[in-house]
Amino acid sequence: MSKTLLSLFAMMHRAGLRLWGLWFVIFLAACSGKKGGVEIDLLEIEACGRITAVMPVGSATYFTYRMEHKGDEYEMIRDFASSRKLELRVKVAESIAQMEEMLRRGEADLIAFPRVNNPRLDREFIFCGTAIPVRSALVQAVRSGGRLLTDVDELLGMEVYVAEGSHCHEALLEINEGLGGGIIVKTTEQDASAESLIEKVYSGDISFAIADDRIALMLEKYYRQIDASLALDSSRNSFWMVRKTSPLLAEAINAWASTRGERAAYKLRNKQFYELSRRAANYGLHVSDSGSISPYDSLFRKYSSHIGWDWRLLASLSYQESHFMAGISARSGASGLMGIMPRTAEAFGVAREDLFDPETNICVAVEALRSFGRSFRRTSDALQRMKLTLAAYNAGVGHVQDACRLAGKYGKDSTMWDGNVAEYILLKRNPEFYQDPACKFGYLRGSETFLYVKEVIERYEYYCRTMD
């Protein structure tokens, strides 16, 4: 407890005030926003009733999917906050240095992002929570006729990109020193999780990046032309961090991690690595010899009339979401044939357990698509309106409307997907755009939504070419 609060306690005790008065003063001090920074611990946090975590945006940390907050680290810190009956607030940082500075200044109570201990960090912070094993992996592209690097010696003379201040950066510097400094190390401060670097490898903008292997292996599912099999170091444990002046908070997090935390981390890691990939580009295997696409063609035909779409477009959407597996439940919470989110089902009066009934799932999906489509009534071209609606189905209407506003602001057609709104969906991962006043819903890893629309439409066109 800070000296100021102790003085207040002494004054109130001398004045014979009741204990609730003390708690009221603590509450005001903790919640006033004047954290002053350095002496906030569990007592002040619980008096305020909320805990603030800082983390980067990323697939394994924190992101918004169909207007719901997701991410492994987010779900774990949410579980901890719930166990202490605390409201969770999340602040986003673009770099590792920014996260550390926010923690120092008291703008956050902890960094909910795995960090590997080192002497510099150990002097200033307490490591706590569930141990997450991490390794540094080389991310490289799988090119037709190309050869993958199989040894770090082959990086001599190569430009290699890495997130500034990360454990991957430290590993790369150690390797480079051992090789006599022949690797050209390029750092970025704006991508703590290195996901944009992995996307740049995939797109061919850069040749090599170093990233946390758990993130790289997860993104291999989405970017199938990348390889992350070459590890640069041995596995090391990583943890969350709190200030040295928050020992009680660290103890509480450790106590949680020793029970619920370990189970939560195991569950999340298994979802991350073993969940069925929701990407599919091999269109030639999806029409049977009998001329059917799936066992559910009759239901797609029945409900397509409710929205005025070709039934084969619904079938393509279903394959994208579930590979026609009616009992599937994805890591994001999306369930059943059409990948319905529980909150969406609730909005239409459907219980989550009912989403595994194929007809119910398709019916809810069509109603959701019809609802989303109303947001794009200004788009007269039917195909462009379908693409905008598909994008909203994947990312949420808010994110697509953000891209529409950005397109209009910067001279593009805000009613057309191709070459217009799609361009700004892709740009919504850049701070320049997701922090633009026209953008109301923040960051989006837009490349996933862009590819989602592209693949659903391409598969639909394939279905149209091969069957009635």
Residue 173 has a pLDDT of 93
Same domain, 323 and 394: yes
Same domain, 396 and 379: yes
Find the CATH number of the domain harbouring 51. 3.40.190.10
Residue 426 has a pLDDT of 93
Same domain, 189 and 56: no
Alpha carbon distance 164, 170 (integer Å): 9
Residue 241's φ and ψ, nearest 5 degrees, are: -135, 140
| Best CA proximity match to 169, nearest among 125, 232, 224, 218 | 232
pLDDT digits (tens, 9 = 90+) for 307-355: 999 999 999 999 888 888 888 777 667 888 999 988 888 889 999 889 9
Comparing 175-179, 258-262, 289-293, the range with the smallest average pLDDT is 289-293
Burial of 170 (0-12, 13-18, 19+ CB in 10 A): middle
Alpha carbon distance 84, 70 (integer Å): 20
Residue 67 has a pLDDT of 59
Per-residue pLDDT band for 202 (boundaries 50, 70, 90) equals confident
β partners of residue 212: 136
pLDDT above 90: residue 466: no
Same domain, 358 and 269: no
Range of the domain at 101: 35-127+240-274
Comparing 35-39, 64-68, 162-166, 252-256, the range with the smallest average pLDDT is 35-39
CA distance readout (Å), 384 to 387, 437, 461 = 5, 26, 14
Alpha carbon distance 41, 188 (integer Å): 33
In a domain, 12, yes or no: no
Look at the chain and report how many structural domains it folds into: 3
**Are residues 268 and 72 in contact, defined by beta-carbon separation less than 8 angstroms?**
yes
pLDDT above 80: residue 261: no
Tell me the torsion sign for CA atoms 457, 458, 463, 466: positive
Same domain, 140 and 108: no
Same domain, 122 and 149: no
Residue 9 has a pLDDT of 43
In a domain, 26, yes or no: no
Same domain, 299 and 423: yes
- The three state secondary structure string of the chain is CCHHHHHHHHHHHHCCCCHHHHHHHHHHHHHCCCCCCCCCCHHHHHHHCEEEEEECCECCCEEEECCEEECHHHHHHHHHHHHCCCEEEEEECCCHHHHHHHHHCCCCCEEEEEEECCHHHHHHEEEEEEEEEECEEEEEECCCCCCCCCCHHHHCCCEEEEECCCHHHHHHHHHHHHCCCCCEEEEECCCCCCHHHHHHHHHCCCCEEEEEHHHHHHHCCCCCCEEEEEECCCCEEEEEEEECCCHHHHHHHHHHHHHHHHHHHHHHHHHHHHCCCCCCCCHHHCCCCCCCCCCCHHHHHHHHCCCCCCHHHHHHHHHHHHCCCCCCECCCCCECCCCECHHHHHHCCCCHHHHHCHHHHHHHHHHHHHHHHHHHCCCCCHHHHHHHHHHHHHHCHHHHHHHHHHHHHCCCCCCCHHHHHHHHHHHCCCHHHHCCCCCCCCCCCHHHHHHHHHHHHHHHHHHHHHCC
Same domain, 391 and 290: yes
pLDDT digits (tens, 9 = 90+) for 44-55: 999 999 999 999
Same domain, 438 and 360: yes
> b/e per residue, 381-417, with b = 16+ CB within 10 A?
eeebbbbbbbbbbbbbbbbbbbbbbbbbeeebebbbb
In a domain, 252, yes or no: yes
In a domain, 346, yes or no: yes
Average pLDDT over residues 223-251: 90
Residue 1 has a pLDDT of 46
pTM: 0.60
In a domain, 27, yes or no: no
**Are residues 175 and 152 in contact, defined by beta-carbon separation less than 8 angstroms?**
yes
Same domain, 297 and 438: yes
Comparing 104-113, 256-265, 311-320, 387-396, the range with the smallest average pLDDT is 256-265
In a domain, 261, yes or no: yes
**Are residues 193 and 167 in contact, defined by beta-carbon separation less than 8 angstroms?**
no
Same domain, 416 and 292: yes
pLDDT digits (tens, 9 = 90+) for 131-177: 888 899 999 988 766 788 999 889 999 999 999 989 999 999 999 99
Find the CATH number of the domain harbouring 461. 1.10.530.10
**Are residues 457 and 451 in contact, defined by beta-carbon separation less than 8 angstroms?**
no
Per-residue pLDDT band for 19 (boundaries 50, 70, 90) equals very low
pLDDT above 70: residue 194: yes
User: Measured in Å, how far apart are the chain's first and last C-alpha atoms?
Assistant: 72
In a domain, 186, yes or no: yes
| Token duo for residue 227 | 């390889």
**Are residues 198 and 211 in contact, defined by beta-carbon separation less than 8 angstroms?**
yes
In a domain, 164, yes or no: yes
Count CB-CB contacts under 10 A for residue 312: 23
β partners of residue 265: none
Same domain, 451 and 338: yes
pLDDT above 50: residue 204: yes
Amino acid code (one letter) for 421: V
